[in-house]
Structure 1
C-alpha cells in the first residue's frame, strides 16, 4: 500500500515551506524529484536545496526524468497523454524504490490545488489498480500569493470577485466577464497584449521567491511593452521562465 503525500513547496524559496510540509518530508520513505531538462536545471537544483535544508531523517531522495508534453496537436488531448506518461513514470519509480509499499512524497511547486495536475495524476494511479491508500495534500504558498505579497497589493477590490485564468484562455476569449480583477497563470507569451489597455493596471512577476525574481507594475498601456521586453530578456538569460501577472480595471487599488 502506497500513501501519497503531495507537498506544496511554494515558489522555490525554502522560507516558504510550512512546518507541516517539513514534517511530511521527514516522515516520507521516498521523495521523487522530477528533472525537466537542462534548460530548467534551476528547478531541480531548488528542490535539491530544499531537501538538503529540510531533511533531518534518512529519507531516500530519487530523481527521475519527467516526460515531455507534445504541444503539436490538440491541447487537452496532449495534456491528457502527458499525464498518462507521468503516471507511468511514477509507477515505474514506485516499483523500483517502494516495491513493498510506504510513504511517497512529491514536492509540488506552489500548491497542489491551483493549476497543478498532481492530484489528477494520482487518480490515474488509483484507476490503474495501484494500491494507493491515503492521498494527503499539504498546502503551499502559491505564485499568486507570492505575486500579491511582492507588490504589497490586495488580491481583490473591496467586496469584489477575482477570476483566475490562463494565458491561453485570455488570448482566446479576452477579458473574462464578471470581474474587474483577473489573475493570469501559465501564459506562454504575453496574452495581455491582446487586450485594450485603457484603464487597466498590471502587476507582473517572474521567478517569484527565487534569487532572480523580477517585478514590474503600472498602467498596461505603458508597462505592457516593458514587461514583454523584460520577459524576453530574462527567458534568454535563464533558458526558461515562470511568470504570473494580475490586472485590474479602474486603476491600481480601490479603497
Structure 2
C-alpha cells in the first residue's frame, strides 16, 4: 500500500431513509465500507449491508473482538481494552485494502459511539497512514423529539444526556430533564411520578412509541420493547424523562 488511506465516518441515522445527500455522495465515493460482525445472526450488520448495496459499495466484515459486557468495576478500562482490540482489527483491513473506506455509524457519530475514538487511535499509531473526516447523521434524540412532536427541553432549561447505567447518578445529582440512551430493559426505579417519552427502533418499520406517567406506562414500554425486538431481531431505545411534567 502506498499513500494514506482515506476514512470517512458517516452517520446513517437508522438506515436508508435517513442518509443525507452529503452522506450518500460520500458513501458512493468509497471503495468499501468496514463493519463489525457481532454475532452469527447480526441484524444490524445486515442493515448496514442493505445501505451499502443500495449505493454499490462492498461491505467488509470484521469479527468484533470479545468484550466484558458484565458491569466490570473498571468499566472505562474494559471499554478501552475493547477499543484497542478493534483498532488492531480495523487497522489490518485498512492496511490490506488501502483506498477509501467508510465506517457507517448508527445515528450520529457524536453520541455514544466509539468510531471516532477508534479512527483517532489508528491515525495516532501510525501503522497505517490515515486521513479522515466525519459527516453527521440523524441522532436518536432528534428522532425521539420528532416522533413525539416535542422539544427536548423546556424554555430556557437544559437537557442532560446520559446512558441507562448512569441514570440513577444523574437523578441523584439533581438532573430533572434527562435523555437516556443505551438502555437495557428499563426499570426507572423511584421515578414513578416522572413523565416519560419513549421510543424504540425509531425510523424503522417496527418503531414503537409510548408516552405518559412512568408509573402508569412502564408495562406498556416493556411490551412495546419486546414487540420491537421480535420484529427486528434487535432493539435500540431512547427516552426523555422529565420530573413533574405531564406527557
**8 A Cα contact 1:168 1:191, kept in partner:** no
Give the number of equivalent residue pairs.
Answer: 242
Partner of 2:176: 180
- The alpha-carbon deviation at position 70 of structure 1 amounts to 1.5
Partner of 2:119: 122
Instruction: List per-residue Cα deviations over 1:178-222 (Å, max 9, x = no partner).
Output: 543210001123142x13322x11011111111211111111110
Distance 1:239 1:62 in 2: 22
Q: CA RMSD in A?
A: 2.0
Partner of 1:196: 191
Distance 1:29 1:176 in 2: 48
Report the TM-score when normalising by structure 2.
0.89
Distance 1:238 1:213 in 2: 9
Distance 2:191 2:128 in 1: 52
Instruction: List per-residue Cα deviations over 1:153-172 (Å, max 9, x = no partner).
Output: 1111111100001100113x
Distance 2:142 2:172 in 1: 21
Correspondence for 1:24 among 11, 15, 26: 26
* Alignment CA distance shift 1:174-1:62 (3 Å): closer
* Alignment CA distance shift 1:145-1:176 (3 Å): farther
Instruction: List per-residue Cα deviations over 1:215-235 (Å, max 9, x = no partner).
Output: 111111101232134324544
After superposition, where does 1:24-173 map in structure 2 within 5 Å?
Answer: 24-39=26-41, 41-55=42-56, 59-72=57-70, 73=72, 74-98=74-98, 102-171=99-168, 173=169
* Alignment CA distance shift 1:231-1:60 (3 Å): closer
Distance 1:176 1:148 in 2: 25
Correspondence for 2:7 among 1, 4, 7: 4
* Alignment CA distance shift 1:231-1:183 (3 Å): same
Stretches of structure 2 lacking an aligned partner (at least 5 in a row): none
Distance 1:61 1:44 in 2: 9
Correspondence for 1:224 among 218, 224, 227: 218
Partner of 1:15: 17
Instruction: List per-residue Cα deviations over 1:67-94 (Å, max 9, x = no partner).
Output: 2321243322211111011111101211
Distance 2:146 2:172 in 1: 24
**8 A Cα contact 1:181 1:249, kept in partner:** yes
* Alignment CA distance shift 1:168-1:140 (3 Å): same
* Alignment CA distance shift 1:29-1:176 (3 Å): farther
* Alignment CA distance shift 1:54-1:232 (3 Å): same
